[in-house]
Amino acid sequence: MLICHFHDLFMVPEAGREWVMQAINGSWKAHKCFTKKNYFSAYPIDALRWFHKPDTILEPQFRELLQYWHSKEAEVTQNSVYLGKTIGEDTPE
Q: What is the pLDDT of residues 12-59, one digit of tens each?
A: 888 888 999 999 999 999 999 999 999 999 999 999 999 999 999 999
Residue 14 lies in a domain: no
Q: How many domains does the chain have?
A: 1
pTM of the model: 0.69
Residue 91 lies in a domain: no
How far, in Å, CA of 3 to CA of 8, rounded? Answer: 9
Residue 78 lies in a domain: yes
**Which structural domain range is residue 68 located in?**
39-85
Give 80: exposed, middle or buried? Use CB within 10 Å, 0-12, 13-18, 19+.
middle
Residue 4 lies in a domain: no
Which residue stretches of the chain are H helix?
2-9, 14-36, 46-51, 59-70, 72-82
Residue 2 lies in a domain: no
Going from the C-alpha of 71 to that of each of 50, 64, 66, the distances in angstroms are 17, 11, 9
